[in-house]
Structure 1
């Protein structure tokens, strides 16, 4: 038991690794601040395209959403970072992460938004148009607010998954939380920095998960 505590819960090593972990946390939060809004915006555009009347717009959107949902995000990240240089396109680790996560997250957010859009009946469109609103105004002020509210738990749940997926950025040596913890582990020859990083993820995400559960129970009543 003492050896287990020394290897995974060594307080002295955690204190030494804390500055490195905090720098990694800052990078993780920066990644989230970029990829989550990009994913939401890309997902909304994908949802609008996949529910469009024109099949020339709808079919390519559906195909792209299915494609990027099927490709594992780690494979996509490595392809963007290590594959594109063979085509003469060299990206920094941060830009590669942002692009890969945009493609992956947009596909999942797009499916969530699409479910919200198709949950709104045609009567809502017709009622809004009968008041003199244009199609764009109807979509912006009537349909999207209702659709977003209908799928809000799924959007939040997907966002939690995005935060956890940021740990994949460590494979391209971007100094996010997991990369920082692994660096501290390699220096100290101890797994306690990884335990500390897991604790940071828990502190960040557990309140969101609990609030999401409460919200789901409330709307289910």
Structure 2
């Protein structure tokens, strides 16, 4: 037991560095991806049919492409077009595209949940459609979508482990590297799994609490 604790103590700095990098990639992907998802959701509500079709096509391509394939495409495929991205930028870009596609559907559902009566009232008051979107639909729709977005954020943190396939030294990559040096894969992957749980379990608890809190006002 003492030997095991000593090994874990030796591994922990590298694993924590990997965990921090995983959180960074996830954070950047969520911030940019949710903004992109909001843009796609708003375009999907456009009165112009070509705009709606474009939004739908982009969303379906993003949702239909596995995150692993997107990572490989951005990291290995784009360089052939002259666009070179290092590991962190490639992972953040790929996961941002995946996030945008999936969150667009979550946000669109939230926007469509805004009572039609409020839109009719704003129209009767002479409020333009653009202002209705900015001040009525989007604020209320995003509030409705928050619990689902938080749940999706946990999923994207888990998906960030796929970045080990492009050599990004995130948590899973660090665990594999340590395992390759001492062949203690079971132990080091167990510790890595516990670190993932240390993030996802509190995050899941927080998500459920927010969902209960917000359901009282919706």
The answer to whether TM tops 0.5 is yes
How far 1:131 moved relative to its partner? 3.9
Contact persistence 1:13–1:188 (CA under 8 A):
no
**Cα offset for 1:217?**
4.6
* Larger RCO: 1 or 2 (CA < 8 Å, sep 6+): 1
Q: 2:98 aligns with which of 81, 104, 107?
A: 104
Q: Is the 8 A contact 1:182 1:194 kept in 2?
A: yes
Task: Note if 1:73 corresponds to 2:55.
Answer: no
Runs of 4+ in structure 1 off by over 3 angstroms are: 129-134, 214-218
Give 1:207's aligned residue. Answer: 202
**1:91 to 2:90 alignment:** no
Aligned: 1:165 with 2:159: yes
What is the CA distance between 1:160 and its match in structure 2? 0.8
Any conservation in 1 of the 2:26–2:92 contact (CA below 8 Å)?
no
Segments of 5+ residues of structure 2 without an aligned counterpart are none
In 2: Cα distance, 1:88 partner to 1:212 partner: 41
Structure 2 residue 104 is matched with structure 1 residue 114: no
Give distance in 1, aligned partners of 2:211 and 2:27.
25
Partners of 1:39 and 1:87 in 2: how far apart? 23
How far apart, in 1, do the equivalents of 2:170 and 2:123 lie? 48
Aligned equivalent of 2:45, options 46, 51, 57:
51
Deviation of 1:136 after TM superposition, in Å, equals: 2.7
> What's the offset of the Cα at 1:220?
7.6
Q: Are the equivalent residues in 2 in contact too, given 1:46–1:110 (CA < 8 A)?
A: yes
The structural deviation recorded for 1:132 is 4.7
The 10-residue stretch of structure 1 (167-176 or 190-199) with the greater mean CA deviation from structure 2:
190-199
Match of 2:24 among 13, 21, 30: 30
Give distance in 2, aligned partners of 1:125 and 1:65: 26
Query: How many equivalent pairs are there?
Result: 215
The two structures have a TM-score, normalised by structure 1, of: 0.89
SS at match of 1:10: helix
Partner Cα distance (2:178, 2:27) in 1? 25
What secondary structure sits across from 1:52 in the alignment?
coil
What is the distance in 2 between the residues matched to 1:83 and 1:32?
Answer: 22
Q: Deviations over 1:158-190 (max 9, x none)?
A: 111111111111111111111111111112221
Q: CA deviation at 1:87?
A: 2.4
Aligned-pair RMSD on alpha carbons?
Answer: 2.1
